[in-house]
Amino acid sequence: MRFSKMHGAGNDFVVLDLRDGRAPPTPADCARIADRHFGIGCDQLLTIEPARSAQAVASYRIWNADGSVAGQCGNGARCVAAWLVRAGAAPAQGAFSIDSPTGAHAVQRNADGDFVIDMGAPRFAPAEIPLLGFVQAQDAYPLELDGRVLAIGAVSMGNPHALLEVDAVETADVAGLGAALQRHPAFPQSANVGFAQVLAPDRIRLRVYERGAGETLACGSGACAAVAVLDRRGQVHAADGVTVELPGGVLRIQRRADGHLWMAGPAAFVFEGEWS
């Protein structure tokens, strides 16, 4: 089984070409491939498959490092776009579309070569996240955790996200609070948990503890979620664009006139190999 190893701002992937109709690896095989000691090693495994919509050039699916299925992956989407361009399945210049597990996404190229992905509109309704115990969307939700009440932002970007604002991301208890919030009964499907430090209306720092993978060097949907929550609160100006500094690199998020968030960032090839 041939594979490509790729990363987007340090969020790394094993990419498999299944456009010929072959079945994807089982969840157990996905976990073995993702193992950094006994496998190839990655945060997520991506399978590139035939398009599901008429306008798309291909589709992709996502498995987390533990073998569980993910609904969206922004850094993965950029890597899929770059892989398709290299394979000659998508144009090197101009726009095209790819299908994720949650729908079709338009892809563009920046002048510097970075891929720009339409990540869709954030969904704040608690039922759509899903977030239990609340009916109306709020800027912050009070959740009790280990005897204290935390103010949590929540949104869906095709997968559930929780956001905590912190004074400094360097000292945030990402692993402890991230795992605890993922287990919280308010999130029946768990959540990717972001820790955001607002530097200015056009710049934030962010760390993300992902479902099925733990803390990653970057999370594209998490960057979109953080900007969406903070923009709703008026703490950043997403219409003007927000730079998101993650441990593995920088992403740029902008809200366009239709309310969709567009994400720009790098997509890099690391090596090619064969899994047997």
Catalytic residue ranges: 73, 219
Residues paired with residue 209 on neighbouring β-strands, in sequence order: 193, 215
**Measured between alpha carbons, how far is 162 from 152 in angstroms, rounded to an integer?**
6
- Pairing status of strand 44-49 against strand 192-200: unpaired
Which distant-in-sequence residues (6+ apart) come within 8 Å of 70 by Cβ? 44, 62, 63, 64, 101, 159, 211, 212
CB-neighbour burial class of residue 61 (10 A; exposed 0-12, middle 13-18, buried 19+): buried
Torsion of CA 248, 201, 193, 125, to 10 degrees: -140
Handedness of CA 32, 265, 19, 105 (dihedral sign): positive
Residues paired with residue 103 on neighbouring β-strands, in sequence order: 100
The binding site comprises: 11, 44, 64, 74-75, 159, 192, 210-211, 220-221
The binding site for substrate comprises: 11, 44, 64, 74-75, 159, 192, 210-211, 220-221
Cα angle 212, 79, 99; round to 5 = 80
**Measured between alpha carbons, how far is 101 from 271 in angstroms, rounded to an integer?**
26
**Measured between alpha carbons, how far is 39 from 67 in angstroms, rounded to an integer?**
13
State whether residue 37 is helix, strand or coil.
coil
Give whole-number Cα distances, 101 to 51, 151, 245, in Å. Answer: 11, 30, 26
Q: How many CB atoms lie within 10 A of CB 253?
A: 26
